[in-house]
Amino acid sequence: MKQTAKFALLLLGASILGSAVTIVATSTIGGRDNGNFVNEISSNSNVDAAGHFYRASATASFDTDFTIAAEKSVNAVVCIKSYATPRSSRQQFIDPFEFFFGPGYGRGQRQQQDDATPQPLGLGSGVIITSDGYIVTNNHVIEGAEKLEVTLNDNSTYNATIIGTDASSDVALLKIDGEDLPTIPFGDSDALKVGEWVLAVGNPFGFTSTVTAGIVSAKARSISSATHGRSMGIESYIQTDAAVNKGNSGGALVNTNGELVGINTAIYSQTGDYAGCSFAIPSALVKKIVTDIQQYGTVQRAVLGISYVELTADMAREKGITATNDGIYVGEVSEQSAAMEAGIKEGDVIIKLGGNPVKNSGQMMEQMNKLRPGDTVEITYIRDNKTRTTKATMKNNQGSTTITKATDFTSLGCAFKQLSKSTKQSLGLNSGVQVAGLKAGKFKDAGIKDGFIILDINGKRINSQDDVKAIYNSIMNSSDNDKVMFVSGVYPTGAKDYYAVNLAD
């Protein structure tokens, strides 16, 4: 009996030691502490007919087998390599005659790079959304590229053409010449719930066709508001803890049905590598942007015409607002705007847009960017601690309900306002118009900043927005292939500047 007892104790000790080694090995190899996960499976798990583990709970159970979703998506996620000529090989030349006298007086802008060969610029991912080769990716993946090479999961390679880009949302649409290509169908990102499983599919560090899993950590997340950093444009991200690293940008975020619910675009990290927070552009926003690019050649932006801040509990107490502690607090309403025509006033708190909650700026941006000029949307707001509703017809940044075309005057992406007497006096000006409300468009692409005062375009003095529009129309209606605005002027600080605005793209 004593020998039997000793033998049993030895077996028990070996068993305990074996378990300890398993937990440590899992933690070490995985690079993070997975011991608790191992224990959970050991103590509270079941096995299905196929031999897969799934965790049981008192109220519900869920299957953690992601193989079907991975199989549906991995073949439609591509690797994108971008190439560009090194800057040292590029010699920019602007003819001085054109600088002073406008186009037609010189040979224009040219590049001398006959001896230069494009070199690898970056590596990213993309998602095939149509069987004939339309691909969605991030704008920052292809920005500055002279050549784009797309490699599919079966190692077939194509050259890609840029159909359109939108820097504000960091979305780009590419096209390759293909047939019967694998695709990922769009899913409903609005229906995603916090805690729901998702997969990130991409090419981190160049490791092609990599799949990682995580859950939705938050929705309508604004990185800049949370970190008090620089705004990244339209910020209404899906936050997940699926591992995303360099090379994942532009790849797919899919739900357990293998449907596209987001485009992976950013991580928050102090090292530059994955640290637990990944961010994706919601598929509802991506789908709208892609549709706009295909139909109109440019993204349609709806403008409500308000300045606002997120309502906080402290602000609510200060303003005497008791009906809510969150929402969009209206600070100012622009003249002749959609908001003013709908009856919105300073001090109102918008809590819903189109029936969807807008508790913070991320949700507000997401809902606004689903709309186009001319769309009518219901606004729910609080005034005098009473809930009210109204309807607003969205406008573009020029103050009309017209849809913007890629060749429209509105594609410049700004409005032009008359100079005040004080501005004219302080700068010693007799003419000029000031750039206002600058958004994504030709002017911003050229480097022009808000507040810039345009004095002349192509050698012609500018006194009003009509002058700018007349010159624009003249350029666009001409048979000249070089459709460029040579804009000169001054900033309110007195700094003079000059820009060449390419209208042909």
pLDDT computed for residue 503 by the predictor: 85
Decide which of 2.40.10.120, 3.40.50.1360, 3.30.9.10, 3.40.718.10 is the CATH code for 66-297.
2.40.10.120
3-state DSSP assignment of residue 180: coil
Burial readout 163-179 (b: 16 or more C-beta within 10 A, e: otherwise): ebbbbbbbbbbbbbebe
Write out the residue limits of the CATH 2.30.42.10 domain(s) in the chain. Answer: 306-393, 409-502
How does strand 460-461 pair with strand 484-490? unpaired
How far apart, in whole angstroms, are the C-alpha atoms of residue 353 and residue 368? Answer: 8
Q: Which residue has the tokens 């970190």?
A: 227
pLDDT computed for residue 364 by the predictor: 95
Among the listed residues 73, 140, 326, 488, the single catalytic one is 140
Write out the residue limits of the CATH 2.40.10.120 domain(s) in the chain. Answer: 66-297
pLDDT computed for residue 10 by the predictor: 42
Burial of 1 (0-12, 13-18, 19+ CB in 10 A): exposed
Which CATH architecture group holds 306-393? Answer: Roll (2.30)
295, two tokens: 């139909």
Say if CB 113 and CB 85 are below 8 A apart: yes
How far apart, in whole angstroms, are the C-alpha atoms of residue 235 and residue 360? Answer: 11
From first CA to last CA, the distance across the chain in angstroms is 90
Does residue 445 have an active-site annotation?
A: no
How far apart, in whole angstroms, are the C-alpha atoms of residue 342 and residue 379? Answer: 9
pLDDT computed for residue 469 by the predictor: 87
Among the listed residues 82, 168, 169, 170, the single catalytic one is 170
Please give the model's pTM, rounded to 2 decimal places.
0.69
Say if CB 117 and CB 85 are below 8 A apart: yes
What CATH topology corresponds to 409-502? Answer: Pdz3 Domain (2.30.42)
Does residue 228 have an active-site annotation?
A: no
pLDDT computed for residue 475 by the predictor: 87
How far apart, in whole angstroms, are the C-alpha atoms of residue 395 and residue 455? Answer: 28
Does residue 273 have an active-site annotation?
A: no
Q: Which residues contact 299 (CB under 8 A, 6 or more apart)?
A: 164, 166, 168, 169, 289, 292, 293, 440
pLDDT computed for residue 1 by the predictor: 47
* Averaged pLDDT in 10-residue chunks for the chain of 505 residues: 45 40 26 30 34 38 78 97 71 45 46 60 95 96 92 96 90 95 96 96 94 96 69 82 95 97 91 88 96 89 94 95 96 94 97 95 93 96 97 89 78 84 88 85 88 93 89 83 88 91 80
Report in angstroms the alpha-carbon separations of 211 from 207, 252, 277. 10, 10, 16
Q: What is the Cα 146 distance to its own chain's centre? A: 22
How far apart, in whole angstroms, are the C-alpha atoms of residue 282 and residue 259? Answer: 12
Among the listed residues 249, 283, 337, 488, the single catalytic one is 249
Q: Which helix (H) or strand (E) holds 264?
A: strand 260-268
